[in-house]
Chains A and B, each alone.
Chain A
Amino acid sequence: GESVGLHLPTLSVQEGDNSIINCAYSNSASDYFIWYKQESGKGPQFIIDIRSNMDKRQGQRVTVLLNKTVKHLSLQIAATQPGDSAVYFCAENGGGFKTIFGAGTRLFVKA
């Protein structure tokens, strides 16, 4: 069946370092992927998206990489800040605007 998973449930990084959060997906028909950030007590918030016809997309301090060959997504956060501490979810859209979320990775930023 369809599934979106994450390799690591928690990630701890030093402030100022770069963070890399990984995600695997299993539905090869998925054509659109989104990263969300969820802070404690809040709903998920959109960070960045990428379509399946791209392999890289950059935003402000964030980059998403897509490797369709191995069905892998990653979110890179440059110069990680304490405000980046949150749970990060990757999500895939396989058509019909149905979104499947992964379990999430908790990012801890050490000062």
Chain B
Amino acid sequence: EAGVAQSPRYKIIEKRQSVAFWCNPISGHATLYWYQQILGQGPKLLIQFQNNGVVDDSQLPKDRFSAERLKGVDSTLKIQPAKLEDSAVYLCASSSTELAKNIQYFGAGTRLSVL
């Protein structure tokens, strides 16, 4: 079974520029998550999708961050414009709701550096 795929692995941009990240979840997983992980901290949920609907985006800075999952499969996360404090690893995860568990499978992440 293929895992969660993310691209790019690394991205360096200057502040006020825009950036987009892509995620392809495990096939058949209805739930998709985007997390922000700042160095030395645990992942912080940005947005959670169930199929192509948003379940939770309470911690997404909506003035600059946006995410979509149009066909209920792949997802993109965009930052526009980026700030220095957005430097972090952006993790995508997916899960199946079978068995009423929430074991999340993570991609390797995209490391963003904002200069």
A, B assembled together: yes
Taking Cβ atoms with an 8 Å cutoff, the residues of A that contact B are 4, 32, 34, 41-46, 49, 89, 93, 96-104
Given contacts A43-B108, A96-B55, contact A101 B103 (CB under 8 A): no
> Is B44 in contact with chain A by the CB < 8 A criterion?
yes
* Chain B residues within an 8 Å CB radius of A45: 106
Q: Which of B45, B93, B106 has the most CB of A within 10 A?
A: B106
Q: How large is the interface on B (under 10, 10 to 19, 20 to 34, 35 or more residues)?
A: 20 to 34
Cα of A100 to Cα of B43 in the assembled complex, Å: 8
Given contacts A43-B108, A43-B109, A98-B48, contact A93 B102 (CB under 8 A): yes
Say how far A7's CB is from chain B's closest CB, in angstroms.
14
Cα of A97 to Cα of B43 in the assembled complex, Å: 15
The reply to whether B93 and A43 form a contact with Cβ atoms under 8 Å apart is: yes
The reply to whether B45 and A43 form a contact with Cβ atoms under 8 Å apart is: no
The reply to whether A89 and B102 form a contact with Cβ atoms under 8 Å apart is: no
Q: Which chain A residue has the least Cβ–Cβ distance from B91?
A: A43
Q: Which of A32, A34, A43, A104 has the most CB of B within 10 A?
A: A43
* Chain B residues within an 8 Å CB radius of A32: 101-102
Given contacts A43-B4, A97-B48, A98-B48, contact A34 B103 (CB under 8 A): yes
